[in-house]
Amino acid sequence: MKTIVIGAGAAGLTAAATLAKAGHEVTIVDHNPVSGGVLRGWQAKGFTWDLGQLLIEGLGPDEPIGEIMQDLGIFDQVKTILDERRYVFPDFDLQKPENYQGVKWRIDRLKQEFPEDTAGLDRYWNDYMRFVHLMTVARQLKKQENSNSLIDKVRLIWAILPFFTRRDWTAEQLMRSYFSSEKLRAVFISILADFFTPPSQFQGLGVFALNPETSFDKRIPQQLKNNIVQLNFYSFLGGTRTLVDALEGVIAAHNGQIRLGQDVTRVIVADGKVTGVELNHSEILEADLVLASGGADELFFDLIGKEQLLEETIQKVNELPLMDSVFMVHLGLDIDPKPFIGGTCTYYYRTYDIEGAILQGKQGHYHEGKDGFVVHVPTHHSPEMAPDAHHAMTIYTICPDTLSNGTWKDQKELFADQLIQLAEEYFPGLNDHIVHRVIFTAEEFRELTHTKHHAFGGLAPIMGKDGFPHQTPIEGLWFIGHQSESGGGLMNVIPAAYRVAKKLSI
């Protein structure tokens, strides 16, 4: 079957590799001269920085992405290590203890910090265990997709039962049911800022999924009890590029074609069925199937055209809740930042008003680092990402795609200076050790993702809103990637693209 895949990011590469391996005649096309989408990494002056997801869930042999890598035969090529993140708040630091203190060290530490919420922390922990159990059962059932056994159904219902009455609660409501302290609530919901989703609009039960204990301390075992299994968190050794290279290798080994630096300018539809694509406004490639990643608005309105769409399709695309962007400053350093920064990935929060900060950002106001930022140092696990005795560091914040005041181009140097100045509060003298810097704004990301609005994690997980289904109303056209129903993040994008491709392989 002739298959065209639009976009060589995580979603497109996974789908193309799976279909090529299944015998499809695959051509994958990407606007960029380098494959990978936001996983491509960035190189300059001997330094390599990651641009996409920095801490990745589920890469182990029995975990969702690891299983896909095994099926594609690349598991041994892609080297990973267990990794974790650290949270620093204005009044306290949730750094893991030097000597391992058990699975509940974070809860115990928070009890010391917030003694008035001790009972709430115990209730939170009990519910966390129940939620991990529910996820464990759900994953087991997903693996045996055809299982309709009564026992399985009862197991799932039993696991859901403790949450049944709270299924429609928001994150804000759930947090208030445990904790009186705003600061403590922020510990569990601060990451929602990365999703551009105010706690009052996020599904309450999702809070447990945002706070896997393994992501805060890699020494915590996956298995907490029988049938209560957490996923682990990882970094790619050598950066996210290593996954891209391995997936490209599968496509090439199965005679797939990878066409880089080329734009799909039209998806050709005849009588409600896709028949191919137009490249660069000139060349036509015929196809039986087209799998498209990238932006929904761009695919449906620019490449297909509203005149070919049903009113409900137009409405669905218009209503998709897109995230906004990230402002990244990549630094080459002539010093090891470890004594100041700690591990690979540190989140410095500088406000407890998560709801307010997100709403400001959605209105186009950039906080310029004052609400917080993330510091990522991949050279702590992959020294080859910098010249000898040097380190690669990325400082990033979330930010609006479009500023309410001024342009990214005019202000990016100033914003970078300000961010470095704030980082110096934690890393005195940082500025004196910068030998190179590269700035990425929403404008660079729009170009890199070939979208008109950069949504760094794709769809915002707003309660009651879902994404665009993989199977589109146009026969033979499938929508994958972080603006599709899977949502963003590698743990969603890769398994979803793989499942769609498997379905089409038959």
Ligand X SMILES: Cc1cc2nc3c(=O)[nH]c(=O)nc-3n(C[C@H](O)[C@H](O)[C@H](O)COP(=O)(O)OP(=O)(O)OC[C@H]3O[C@@H](n4cnc5c(N)ncnc54)[C@H](O)[C@@H]3O)c2cc1C
Nearest approach, Cβ of residue 397 and ligand X (Å):
10
Which CB atom, from 24 or from 85, has the smaller least distance to ligand X? 85
Q: Return all residues near 36 (Cβ < 8 A) that are at least 6 apart.
A: 8, 9, 10, 13, 52, 240, 241, 244
Report how far residue 33's alpha carbon sits from residue 348's, in angstroms, rounded to the nearest whole number.
Answer: 34
Q: Rule CB under 6 A: which residues touch ligand X?
A: 6-12, 29-32, 37-39, 51-55, 263-264, 293-294, 326, 396, 449-450, 456-458, 481-482, 488-490, 493
Report how far residue 277's alpha carbon sits from residue 55's, in angstroms, rounded to the nearest whole number.
Answer: 35
Sequential DSSP letters for 204-240? TTHHHHH--GGGT-TTS-SEEETTEEPPPEEEETT-T
Nearest approach, Cβ of residue 143 and ligand X (Å):
22
Nearest approach, Cβ of residue 133 and ligand X (Å):
23
Tokens 């907490």, located at residue: 224
Which CB atom, from 136 or from 451, has the smaller least distance to ligand X? 451
Nearest approach, Cβ of residue 32 and ligand X (Å):
5
Which CB atom, from 175 or from 326, has the smaller least distance to ligand X? 326
Report how far residue 474's alpha carbon sits from residue 275's, in angstroms, rounded to the nearest whole number.
Answer: 10
For residues 491 and 56, the answer to whether their CB atoms sit within 8 Å is: yes
How many CB atoms are closer than 10 A to CB 158? 12
- Compute the CA torsion angle 494, 496, 501, 502 (nearest 10 deg): 110
Helix axes 118-143, 171-178, angle to 10 degrees: 130
Q: In 3D, which of 455, 504, 445 has the Cα closest to residue 483?
A: 455
Which CB atom, from 117 or from 324, has the smaller least distance to ligand X? 324
Nearest approach, Cβ of residue 8 and ligand X (Å):
6
Q: How many residues does the chain have?
A: 506
- Compute the CA torsion angle 388, 390, 394, 395 (nearest 10 deg): 170
Residue 446: phi and psi, rounded to 5, are: -60, -45
Which CB atom, from 267 or from 357, has the smaller least distance to ligand X? 267
Nearest approach, Cβ of residue 65 and ligand X (Å):
12
Greatest Cα pair distance in the chain = 68
Which CB atom, from 313 or from 451, has the smaller least distance to ligand X? 451
Which CB atom, from 24 or from 454, has the smaller least distance to ligand X? 454
- Looking only at the bridges linking them, the beta strands covering 434-440 and 228-229 are unpaired
For residues 278 and 268, the answer to whether their CB atoms sit within 8 Å is: yes
Which CB atom, from 10 or from 88, has the smaller least distance to ligand X? 10
Helix axes 150-160, 118-143, angle to 10 degrees: 160
Nearest approach, Cβ of residue 451 and ligand X (Å):
7
Q: Is 374 helix (H, G, I), strand (E, B) or coil?
A: strand
Nearest approach, Cβ of residue 13 and ligand X (Å):
7
Which CB atom, from 39 or from 229, has the smaller least distance to ligand X? 39
Q: Which residues pair with 223 in a beta bridge?
A: 229
What is each CA distance from 337 to 4, 84, 106, 424, in whole angstroms? Answer: 44, 17, 25, 11
What is each CA distance from 201 to 86, 160, 179, in whole angstroms? Answer: 25, 21, 19
Which CB atom, from 341 or from 398, has the smaller least distance to ligand X? 398
Which CB atom, from 38 or from 78, has the smaller least distance to ligand X? 38
For residues 134 and 124, the answer to whether their CB atoms sit within 8 Å is: no
Which CB atom, from 54 or from 110, has the smaller least distance to ligand X? 54
Q: Is 349 helix (H, G, I), strand (E, B) or coil?
A: strand
Nearest approach, Cβ of residue 499 and ligand X (Å):
14
